[in-house]
Amino acid sequence: MQNSLKEIVYSQKLQKEELLALTYIDRTKEPFAKKWLDSGLIKVVLGPRRAGKSVFSLLLLKDRPFMYFNFDDEVLSSVGGISTDELMKELHAAYGGDVKTILFDEIQNLPSWELFANRLHRAGYNLVLTGSNAHLLSKELATHLTGRHMPIEILPFDFNEFLRAKKFVINQEYASLPRQRGELLNLMENYLLNGGFPEVAVKNVDPKDYLDVLLDAVLFKDVVKRHRVKFSTQVGNLAAHLINNFANLYTVRKLLEALNLKSATTIEKYINYLEEAYLVFSLLRYSPKSLERIKSPRKVYAVDNGFIIAKAVQHSPDKGKLMENLVFTELVKWGAKPNRELFYYKTRNDREVDFVLKKGIEVIELIQVCYESINLDVEQRETKALFEASDELKVKKLTVLTWDEKREVKKDGITIQFIPLWEWLLEKTQD
């Protein structure tokens, strides 16, 4: 085993050097992560598989000496368990005794990893950890590393990262240049349909085939295998159902009926597994009363629009819903925390507002998403909900995100801004 571990460490060291020699897309989260790099906290990089966590972590450390070990190495499964003392010995043998910064990739594959990390942290090592399973990491971090860690969430590319991947440079006067604006709309359509997973954006792999295989791999590795799910077909059917009903409301009772399942507890458990694996998000209805929030139907969103197209049962999903899913994921990438700072809303007259944004205890903005060309009926439907919600929640910042139309509507001293999605995506900055 010792020789095998030595070989794995040296092989991975070569892989690390090869990876660092390549060119990558700058990530929006980099300044935030660098701010914490030299702190005494353990940096934990979270997110779905293939979203770029490992590359992000490598680039974060590229200007300093650091040790690297990937616990997702297939060779490890063939050699059985490893001794952490032997691992540290081999890492220092490969990198030298003075190196105190370590990147551990997919550390959740190491049993009792949190105890190992805690021990190294007490010994003065500067740790960067990556992992795919949000629940395992957050649960164990809360238990064992309270106050000693900084989570950094890496999701698929946001729109600005996607444009950098496509080498699209925005001229300051792009809005008045038909050709560039048309190219921008074309790229936004691509992003709307294919999403932002790096392999899809950078390497132009076939998005449907690639993401279909990726989603199945996540279901097997991060849900069925990790949680020892006995009825894998059931959890697969639930995932497919939720993704095909993205941007729609659901209740556990209706899911039980639709999927012919018997246990509400099992449904809740499976949904938690899917959320932990970063496949879907559930959004609560906003209410100042916590019981109303919990009891109301939830809205489901996919982590990436590409998954929706890959698993679509219908031939072409509703572009308005795709836009709404895109806006949700973009808000999350910019730092809005679902069910703490981000909700949907229903007025007293049962009119729905897509997104409620909170800051602290204050509701700061209401957002509607509308793909179709603005006509009088559409305008009245969207604006009525916003004006009603504005009155009920005492919010003045009201926004309708359109595909490519900019104007404003006023009523009783309140203004609704109609903003093209591309403009909103480009102007929004990371908090």
| Domain locations along the chain | 2-154, 319-431
425: Cβ–Cβ under 8 A, 6 or more apart, which residues?
A: 158, 159, 160, 188, 330
Q: What pLDDT sits at residue 233?
A: 92
CATH 3.40.1350 correct for 319-431: yes
Q: pTM of the predicted model, to two decimals?
A: 0.93
Which residues 6+ apart lie within 8 Å of 159 measured at CB?
Answer: 188, 191, 196, 330, 422, 425, 426
pLDDT confidence of residue 314: 67
How far is it between the farthest Cα atoms of the chain? 77
Per-residue pLDDT of the chain (431 residues; tens, 9 = 90+): 556 899 999 999 999 999 999 999 999 999 999 999 999 999 999 999 999 999 999 999 999 999 999 998 877 766 667 899 999 999 999 999 999 999 999 998 888 898 999 999 999 999 999 987 766 777 777 777 877 899 999 999 999 999 999 999 876 566 667 888 899 999 999 999 999 999 999 998 999 999 999 999 999 988 998 889 998 999 999 999 999 999 999 999 999 998 988 799 999 999 999 999 999 999 999 998 888 888 999 999 999 999 999 988 766 779 999 999 999 999 999 999 999 999 999 999 999 999 999 999 999 999 999 987 667 777 888 899 999 999 999 999 999 999 999 999 998 899 999 999 999 998 864 44
3-class SS of residue 103 = strand
Residues 48-80: tens digit of each pLDDT: 999 999 999 999 999 999 999 999 887 776 666
- Residue 64: other Cβ atoms inside 10 A: 11
Judge contact between 410 and 393, C-beta under 8 A: no
Q: Domain 2-154 is of which CATH architecture?
A: 3-Layer(aba) Sandwich (3.40)
Read off the amino acid at residue 406: K
Residue position matching structure tokens 């916003």: 386
pLDDT score for 1: 53
